[in-house]
Amino acid sequence: MADHDGGPRVNLPLTIPDLPPSIPDLAGQVLTVTGPVDPSALGPTLMHEHLFVDLRRPAHALRPGEDSPQAREPLTLANLARTRHGAVNADNDVLADFDEMLAEVGEFRRAGGGTVVEVTSLGIGRDPGSLRRMSRASGLHIVMGAGWYTPTFHPPDLGERTVDDLTAVIVRDIVDGADGTGVRAGIIGEVGAESAPLTPGELKSVRAAGRASRVTGAPITFHVGGVGEEKFTVLDILDEEGVDPSNVVLGHAGTMAVDLPFARRVLARGVFIEFDFLASPGSPWGHLVLLGDHKVARGIADLVEDGYSGQILLGHDVCQKIQLKRYGGQGYSYIPDHFLPALRRLGVADEAVHKIMVDNPARALTFTTPAP
């Protein structure tokens, strides 16, 4: 049977060249940057954040004005408003100061948080060593991502590399650790799948993510996971690769909050949907806020009433300086401080809130049994 990218369908057990000689069985555990932990240890969890990230575009894909002197200015009060309204600022696109980020993520810890899923993937500034250091300094569990983001940030040679080549890179990040640090990825993603239609590179990246998930038992999280009906193309690929849908997270699901029939079709596949981009007006690049947080909260409340509380996840997707409290943003504590109370005011019971913040992340992040 032909796959969506024209390649042959995978038959298990898998035989992929260049894999580590043995794959540990982490079934029933969550893999953090400091090692495996029991899912019950996670506590309230933000499922989609960035602590260290570099979203400056490569030279071949600069945005208009990105090479201008104005775009190279440090982010200050003098240009903060302009940046919030979408002006390109390279400094805004980088989170890298350890002490600054420790203070920021400490606000989530103060609000009772236990775990942050850090979904910075390859090519956008992932920093495994700093994530391990951050976990120890903050007292938070941190789960690190793997795989590839959107086509703009794909490696130049991705077109020449096979699905198995890409799979082996992801598997080694999970089994051996990333970039020679020994820090192991505990989730695959955020995997970019946002084009309409999906590009050949995105399809290859999606399939490699699925294959690596089947080999290791690791969960997968997606940047969009396909626009509209393309979501079902992505889910069909993962099904062909033998991925358990309960290990799949479709991020940036905000528009589903106002299209509940479509949301129900997606949820019927058994995956998690993740509402993020919360409290991020003007960020990133001035175009990600598609609707107000009240509409998202209302949609979540309706889905909970429909019986889907067990498939909903939350995150802020902090990925630029203007989202940090230091620069007037809401940072990493907006969800516990403001969004969860809003859900409760809309009638979402504490039991459902606990599912969304604690039980669902624990299930979503738990490894399944690897393929033989």
Annotated binding site for a divalent metal cation, which residues? 48, 50, 190, 223, 252, 317
For CA atoms 37, 206, 8, 165, the dihedral sign is negative
Question: What residues form the annotated binding site?
Answer: 48, 50, 190, 223, 252, 317
N-terminal to C-terminal alpha carbon distance within the chain: 22
- Among the listed residues 52, 72, 68, 23, the one whose alpha carbon sits nearest the alpha carbon of residue 124: 52
Integer Cα distance of 120 and 23 in angstroms? 23
Q: Cβ(214)–Cβ(16) under 8 Å?
A: no
CA distance 273 to 267: 7
Residues in the chain: 372
C-alpha 7/C-alpha 238 separation (Å) is 14
